């Protein structure tokens, strides 16, 4: 990985959904930029290898069990972070799931799982992060950074992802609501909306005939590279974004055009 353009030295970042995909990538990215990273996920067994990898590269990392649908689990994860590394001043609410299916066929319990993880989980994670930052003096330091992982589906219509897309549009507006509420408390809240990237959550789809047809329909006929998110994720977490809050930006290689 190239040397990051933005330093996160001295910062502590907590990242949810870090057992694979975007979350694991963000953990590596932030550690390489100098942050101590707290990586949280339900699948704790998957985190030990990532911790070892980061530490072998000279970084600091802590794995915590974290189920974003359970407020007690979120609080416990922040408690563990504070006890071992300090109060996180960067929080990435990244955990999310997909339940594919046409709206007339999607079971109600599947819809609830999507809302509970993709919206409620983001809300609870960001809220707990803000509470800790405020208690630690974010109003004076102005170093609080909260980043919500959205999706370009917030601006698109498609077949089979109505519940997922709706939660991502809700996340987009939630970011602005939080940004307004915490603006005078030294906390910046921004939303990154990735395009379609090959990750564990939907990677197999793009090997199917339907997935290949979807790619062929995009202007550049390709998936977004995960590294395309790096500069924006670092910017949002760093001191450089001191006067940037309440924004959302799509990084999708033109897929949503």
Instruction: Look up the CATH number of the domain holding residue 21.
Output: 3.40.50.720
Q: Which of 38, 241, 22, 32 is nearest to 149 (CA)?
A: 22
CB atoms near residue 97 (< 10 Å): 17
Q: Which of 89, 38, 90 is nearest to 63 (CA)?
A: 38
On whether residue 5 sits in a domain, the answer given is no
Structure tokens at 14: 């907590």
On whether residue 200 sits in a domain, the answer given is yes
On whether residue 2 sits in a domain, the answer given is no
Check residue 101 and give its pLDDT. 85
On whether residue 106 sits in a domain, the answer given is yes
- Of 30, 123, 164, 196, the active-site residue reads 164
Q: Which residues of the chain have pLDDT under 70?
A: 1-4, 203
On whether residue 21 sits in a domain, the answer given is yes
173-208 confidence digits (pLDDT tens): 999 999 999 999 999 999 999 999 998 777 688 889
Check residue 4 and give its pLDDT. 58
Check residue 7 and give its pLDDT. 95
Q: Which of 38, 25, 30, 23 is nearest to 8 (CA)?
A: 30
The yes-or-no answer on residue 164 being catalytic is yes
**Structural domain boundaries, residue 193:** 12-251
Contact 91, 147 (CB under 8 A): yes
């Amino acid at each position: 990985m190239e040397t990051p353009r933005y330093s996160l030295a001295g910062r502590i970042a907590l990242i949810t959904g870090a057992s694979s995909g975007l979350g694991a990538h963000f953990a590596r990215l932030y550690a390489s930029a100098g942050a101590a990273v707290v990586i949280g996920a339900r699948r704790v067994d998957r985190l030990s290898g990532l911790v070892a990898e980061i530490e072998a590269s000279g970084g600091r990392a802590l794995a915590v069990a974290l189920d974003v649908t359970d407020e007690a689990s979120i609080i416990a994860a922040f408690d563990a972070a504070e006890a071992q590394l300090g109060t996180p001043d960067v929080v990435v609410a990244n955990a999310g799931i997909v339940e594919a299916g046409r709206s007339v066929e999607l079971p109600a319990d599947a819809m609830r799982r999507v809302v509970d993880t993709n919206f409620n989980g983001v809300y609870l994670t960001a809220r707990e992060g803000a509470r800790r930052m405020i208690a630690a003096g974010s109003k004076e330091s102005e170093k609080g950074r909260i980043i919500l992982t959205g999706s370009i589906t917030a601006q698109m219509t498609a077949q089979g992802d109505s519940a997922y897309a709706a939660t991502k549009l809700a996340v987009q507006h939630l970011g602005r609501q939080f940004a307004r509420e915490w603006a005078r408390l030294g906390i910046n809240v921004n939303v990154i909306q990735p395009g379609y990237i090959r990750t564990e959550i939907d990677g197999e789809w793009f090997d199917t005939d339907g997935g290949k047809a979807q790619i062929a329909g995009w202007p550049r006929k390709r998936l977004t590279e995960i590294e395309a998110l790096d500069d924006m994720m670092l910017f949002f977490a760093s001191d450089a974004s001191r006067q940037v809050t309440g924004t959302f930006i799509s990084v999708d290689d033109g897929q949503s055009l």
